[in-house]
Amino acid sequence: MAALTALREAVSEFVHDGATVALEGFTHLIPFAAGHEVIRQRRRGLTLIRMTPDLIYDQMIGMGCASRLIFSWGGNPGVGSLHRFRDAIQNGWPVPLAIEEHSHADMAARYQAGASGLPFAMMRGYVGSDLPKVNPRIKSITCPFTGEELAATPAIHPDVTIIHAQKADRKGNVLVYGIIGVQKEAALAAKRVIATVEEVVDHLDAPPNACVLPSWVVSAVCLVPGGAHPSYAHGYYKRDNAFYKAWDTISRDRDTFQAWMQRHVLDTRDFAEYRATLAAESRQGSYA
Amino acid sequence: MPEAAYTPQEIMTIAAARRLKNGAVCFVGIGLPSAAANLARITHAPDVVLIYESGTIGARPDVLPLSIGDGELAETADTVVSVPEIFRYWLQGGRVDVGFLGAAQIDKFGNINTTVIGGDYNAPKVRLPGAGGAPEIATAAKEVTIIVKQSKRTFVEKLDFVTSSGYTGHGNGTRSGLAAGRGATTVITDLGILQSDPATHELVLAALHPGVSLDDARAASGWKLREAAQLDVTAAPSPAELEALRDLQARTAAAHGGLGTAE
């Protein structure tokens, strides 16, 4: 049963050094506040799973939280490279990062297999691709009915999945809407689930087919308004495309990156303080 | 002069848009493919169905999305489904007519690389974003159009890494393992249009954009570029096409804080 708790306590209790952690949200509802709290608590040796590492994993990798990354597309969408991700892979900075690389369709299928209690995912994929040559976890299986050869990959079972959602009610039922990505599968595949939310309400007023994670599959619900910034929360705020662009400059240089993370994440107490430091800079006309 | 009043990128985008038939179901990659697919939708193909991997089906964005999952896509779509569903029921299920993709490198059989350049996989010279949805779009869509600027860096004899396959039979007439799809049948560049030869499956030059010579196209190819029996000249962009594209890009730039089209 989900307890309404502070994000600091939820991360402290459920995200341990060396854990396998998935922070999901496909462009939309990326749990930045939770990622920042993991950085503040200086977690190390994490295996990070995410289809699109995005800026939040660039930050966590650059701050040395991760020793392994499982992913399917690692860029700054519409802008260019993730510089910290590239520096870690190409130069092992600040610590070596092992990678396990898949395709989107496969990652989605692996989460589904995890949520379904199956040992592996199966799909028609990677035909003619070199990815199976560099990732020994991509194997094949022959259909017992047709003889067709299909791709098979192990199910994903995170120790913790963290998502951001629009609403929770006071019992801890969580509502996600808009682009729902792979959050339901990532949550149901995990041993523990932390959900940060824009607001806590008396009633979700969710239609019957809405994407609701019932309270009893969620370990902790944390109220963090704006917790997906600079990604967006449908119905609450838009994607901060200017920040995504500014990140290219902030993250390109190691020292600039570290100074930025120190000032905005390590030296702030929580996400509200982080937002306040950004707002001050935004008023001066620049993030970088 | 009207013939020179457009850029190479504009004719590339417009030539790609023209390939998309009204009513087709198109799985759209971000950047140039998205610009071309939306230009088709607001010009000659109002009933084209645009699918993005974020799960938006039938999206009609007024401005181009910066990322593959912008709110604009969800707000204008017929329906929004989960990421597992978009890949399993809609793509793998065989409901996509054409995939529109970009590439960092392409070879003469339409294989594409978006993973690593130089060095080897474990110690690359340049680490690229990776596969995303492309390996399955490239093989499950009934056909694939690739939009890429042409140069010796992008058109290579041998890929540093095959992320997504084009024609997998490599000229022997078989495509073992491929249940559906003909692979990359069309490549649109800033210099011309390539089509796969039905006999050899090699991409051959089928048209040059106005003012581009065969030597220009050959000089910008890392493999020995062959031309089709009939080499056409692409029709120059019409004033209506140019106006629609420029309006779309101006709206996009205004919406994204001056960022312009995503690439």
* Contacts of A259 by beta carbon, 8 Å cutoff, 6+ apart: none
Give chain A positions within 8 Å (CB) of B161.
Answer: 130
Minimal-distance CA residue of chain A relative to B82 = A181
Residues B117-158 have pLDDT tens digits of 998 998 899 999 999 999 999 999 999 999 999 999 999 999
pLDDT, tens digit (0-9, with 9 covering 90-100), for B9-55: 999 999 999 999 999 999 999 889 999 999 999 999 999 999 999 99
Instruction: Please indicate, yes or no, if residue B261 is contained in any of the structural domains.
Output: no
The distance of A196 to chain B (nearest Cα, Å) reads 20
Residue type at A113 in one-letter notation: A
B162 neighbourhood in chain A, CB within 8 Å: 128-130
> Which fold does the domain A3-101+157-282 belong to in CATH?
Glutaconate Coenzyme A-transferase (3.40.1080)
Which value, in Å, is the radius of gyration of the alpha carbons in chain A?
Answer: 19
Decide the pairing of beta strands A120-123 and A98-101.
Answer: unpaired
Residues in chain A: 288
Determine the Cα–Cα distance for residues A37 and A61; give it in Å rounded to an integer. 14
Query: What pLDDT is attached to residue A124?
Result: 94
The least confident of A97-111, B11-25, B32-46, B170-184 is: B170-184
- CATH number for the domain that contains residue B128: 3.40.1080.10
Which residue in chain B is spatially nearest to A239 when comparing CA positions?
B70
Q: What is the pLDDT of residue B184?
A: 87
What is the helix, strand, coil percentage profile of chain A, to 5? 35, 25, 40
> Over the stretch A180-204, which tens digit does the pLDDT of each residue have?
999 999 999 999 999 999 999 999 9
> Which residues make Cβ contacts (< 8 Å) with residue A236, sequence separation at least 6?
A166, A198, A226
Q: How does residue A110 score in pLDDT terms, banded at 50, 70 and 90?
A: very high
User: Which pLDDT band, with edges at 50, 70 and 90, does A276 fall under?
Assistant: very high
Q: What is the mean pLDDT of residues A159-170?
A: 98
Residue A240: other Cβ atoms inside 10 A? 19
DSSP state of B4: G
Chain B nearest C-alpha distance from A163 (Å): 15
Is B84 in Cβ contact with A111 (below 8 Å)? Answer: yes
- Would you call A28 and B74 a contact, using CB atoms and an 8 Å cutoff? yes
Does pLDDT of B179 surpass 60? no
Look at residue B246 and give its three-state secondary structure: helix
Residue A162's closest CA among A99, A213, A102, A101? A213
CA distance A245 to chain B (A): 8
Which range of residues forms the domain containing residue B107? 2-255
Q: Point out the least confidently predicted range of B61-70, B109-118, B162-171.
A: B162-171
In chain A, where the domains are located:
3-101+157-282
Count of structural domains, chain B: 1
- Measured from the Cβ of residue B23, the count of other Cβ atoms closer than 10 Å reads 11
Q: Is B88 left (phi over 0), alpha (psi -120 to 50) or beta?
A: alpha
pTM above 0.90? Answer: yes
Chain A residues inside the 8 Å CB shell of B106:
none
3-state helix, strand, coil in chain B (%, to 5): 25, 20, 50
Enter the ipTM. 0.96
For A77, which residue in chain B has the nearest alpha carbon?
B67
B262 falls within a domain: no
Q: What is the pLDDT of residues A23-44, one digit of tens each?
A: 999 999 999 999 999 999 999 9
In a domain, B204, yes or no: yes
pLDDT greater than 70 at residue B169: no
B53 annotated active-site = yes
Bridge partners of B193?
Answer: B188, B207
List CB contacts (< 8 A) between A105 and chain B.
87-88, 91-92, 133, 135-136
CA distance B69 to B55: 8
Check CB contact under 8 Å for A72 and B130.
yes
